[in-house]
Structure 1
């Protein structure tokens, strides 16, 4: 894949605050006149995810959504179900727990993914 196409996907994500689906990113690119295909968008997102430039998580309904990674440190996400606002959070207790559970069962090279979903204060206030 050309770097130009990957850069186009990177630029769309850089302009977004929350997580976006591949279809949303594709629609944004097409609206701006790009001839990029949806398959190319998926490939770019996969490459950017593997390089650590893009965070990916699964929504409650199983859809993969993407966001430009804001830090190079290992982190987790606190995501509002209402507006999609996302906060990157460290989780030292989660790290210790994952390592302990792995060691307890004889596993090594432990990795994990933890995403926390809730409702932010602004969305909760709007519902009241």
Structure 2
């Protein structure tokens, strides 16, 4: 599995932006890789669990992946039109998550936060049309 996981990770590192498992699979197959879609899903899950890839859920509920640009915990600001993604820190979110967990007796609290909007380039394009 390690070789296949590394191959999936390499595919994501060469990619721009977030990709679905099906996209990663199709690219790998077109490059001649002998890999199944189930193996791609398992590799992506293992990479996500290991903090090697970011996972984002789209508006329609699909999980998409990209190689982590940062090893630190972060959140994403994502353009709904073009998919441009910016990694952002959220110290206020971190404090809030810990406080809410503590208030209800939870420990070892984790969270994900994705913020969606329209980037400046896409906004300008819309205004220009």
Distance 2:5 2:105 in 1: 39
Question: What SS does the aligned partner of 2:122 have?
Answer: helix
Distance 2:108 2:32 in 1: 44
Question: What SS does the aligned partner of 2:34 have?
Answer: coil
1:6 corresponding residue in structure 2: 5
- CA deviations 1:68-121 (Å, max 9, x no partner) are 011111100111111111111100000011111111122111111111111111
Distance 1:62 1:102 in 2: 25
Distance 1:22 1:35 in 2: 15
Gaps of 5+ in 1: none
Distance 1:51 1:106 in 2: 27
Q: Structure 1 segments of 4 or more deviating over 6 A?
A: none
Counterpart check, 1:30 vs 2:35: no
Question: What SS does the aligned partner of 1:77 have?
Answer: strand
2:90 corresponding residue in structure 1: 91
Question: What SS does the aligned partner of 1:102 have?
Answer: helix
Distance 2:39 2:108 in 1: 32
Counterpart check, 1:79 vs 2:101: no
Q: State how 1:1-128 maps to structure 2 within 5 Å.
A: 1=1, 3-128=2-127
- Structure 1-normalised TM-score? 0.95
C-alpha RMSD of matched pairs (Å):
0.9
Distance 2:7 2:103 in 1: 45
Aligned residue pair count: 127
Distance 1:24 1:43 in 2: 15
Whether the 8 Å contact between 1:17 and 1:85 is mirrored in structure 2 is no
- Structure 2-normalised TM-score? 0.94
